[in-house]
Structure 1
Amino acid sequence: MSRMEQIRLSSYSMEEAMICYLARELRNHEVIGVGNNSPIPAAAALLAKARHAKQASVYILGQCDWPFQGTKEFFDLMQRGEMDVFFLSGAQIDSYGRINLHTIGDYGKPKVRLPGGAGSGVVYFTCKRIFLFKTDHGLKGFPETLDFVTSIPSSGKGIYHQNGLVGVYTPLGVMKPIGPDGRLKLAATVPGVKPAEVQGKTGFDLGLSNEDDTSIPNLEPPSTIELATLRYEVSHELRRIYPLFVKQHFGAYLKSAVVQS
């Protein structure tokens, strides 16, 4: 590897970091599902399969070799309890990992009408491990109370629900449900971000002991091998599903690979 390439692999974008952090959480032999408009989780699933989860089954909505008839068979698989992992997001995520994909403001007269749940009600109840993600982190996106509850990570006694939420991944760090009530607490920050900064951009209490809480670890930065695999292997496969995303974030590396070949 050239010195120039080593330098290039020492820097990375927010999107690349989130992809690597999510990929590390995925396990070998798992059945992993990725829905629509989710290039970051899709890349994470492909990266995990390329690196440490080679026997995982990855189903990405929009892939060329989609093995289901439409989406019904896909959701049937979930409802039989055969989906290990899925990724969800929300315009709003509250302190318990409940999500809002319906409206901002009053439901009858909303400020913003959102696309809707898109099956998230089924997903949150039937998949064994759920990862929430947001590509921004601000007070409006993480309020104490949602304007509308689209889906929830846990339910009352006697209601079928799989294991549920693992954590919430954002450009600032990771929040995980900790304690018997399942309330989200700050579990780790990305390199260069202090816990107080995350708290200042979150509308609910993250359980910090003080502003400079030294008990909160930093996530390990993406490694050179993770970045190289993502940029020069995974991006080629991802391009078939998310060509615009790949062009925006990996276009330079794709051109470089063509020149070198």
Structure 2
Amino acid sequence: MEHTISPGYSVEEALICQLARELRNHEVIGVGNNSPIPAAAALLAKSLHAQEASVYILGQCDWPFQGTREFFELMQRGGIDVFFLSGAQIDAYGRINLHVIGDYAKPKVRLPGGAGSGVVYFTCKRILLFKTDHGVKGFPEQLDFTTAGPTSEKGVYHRAGLVGVYTPLGVLKPTGENGRLELGATATGVQPVEVQSRTGFDLGLKRKGAAAIPELAPPTAQELSTLRYEVVHALSRIYPLFVRQHFGRYVVETKRRKEG
């Protein structure tokens, strides 16, 4: 059964607000290519509780680096505190697949590739994984291909720490044995059993007990208002299509208010 988020805000807005809450004041926040939801989250956090944070969004008109090389060099020096990653597949330990679905030599689907995620997962201080959908195929026990992961073999330096995986159904946290992902909280109105039924690996509900899983607070009126009537204007310069599709009514409403 497809879950429909409660009225008053969209699935995308809920995910943006949840990611924004994880960002801290004074952090240096990096957002990569084709990531409108993390970009919106970074801008929302900076507008509300992280006003002294530095936000670098690939594609912004005032990108202060020469291409991406300087940005990745800054990251390798430890200059980026938090970054967002996703994957076509995410496994039980937070490893991601951005390369192929199926056999590597004869894949069912060939994906764009890592796009620097291997470097990011090794060098960025905090990693927030996100996925805009939540289904068994996207969360398998074993990946078809490992593009990057939150840990390294013994003796290999690895700075990054996985904070969690954020989806429309809730958040998975690396609280299990050896950093295995478990259900940390559910989205408003979502039952833990639903999250488990749409995940291809065990989320530790038997160990914790479904009753012990908290529910995330829904977006506040302040978060939604700031997102819809302030953040979208900056976001539209980078992701105009995303803004038209998901926030078009608020852009039109703001324009009418100004003209009136």
TM superposition score category, shorter chain reference: over 0.9
Which of 209, 213, 216 is the equivalent residue of 2:213?
216
3-state SS of paired residue (2:83): strand
2: CA distance between counterparts of 1:165 and 1:50? 25
**Identity of paired residues, percent?**
74
Measured after TM superposition, the shift of residue 160 of structure 1 is 1.1
1:1-261 to structure 2, matched below 5 A, reads: 11-209=8-206, 213-261=210-258
Q: Secondary structure at the match of 1:158?
A: coil
Following superposition, the deviation at residue 210 of structure 1 comes to 7.8
Per-residue deviation, 1:211: 10
Matched residue of 1:168: which SS?
Answer: strand
| Matched residues, number | 252
| CA distance in structure 2 between the partners assigned to 1:252 and 1:92 by the alignment | 33
**CA deviation string 1:125-168 (max 9, x = no partner):** 00000000000000000000000000010112221111421000
CA drift at 1:209 = 2.1
- Superposition RMSD in Å: 1.2
Runs of 4 or more consecutive aligned structure 1 residues displaced over 4 Å after TM superposition: none
Unpaired segments ≥5 residues, structure 2: 1-6
The code of the aligned residue for 2:191 comes to K
What is the CA-CA distance between 1:180 and the residue it aligns to? Answer: 4.7
User: Which amino acid in the other structure matches residue 129 of structure 2?
Assistant: L
Asked whether the equivalents of residues 153 and 165 of structure 1 are also in contact (C-alpha less than 8 Å), the reply is yes
Q: Distance in 1 between matches of 2:165 and 2:96?
A: 11
Alignment correspondent of 2:4: none
* C-alpha displacement of 1:212: 7.1
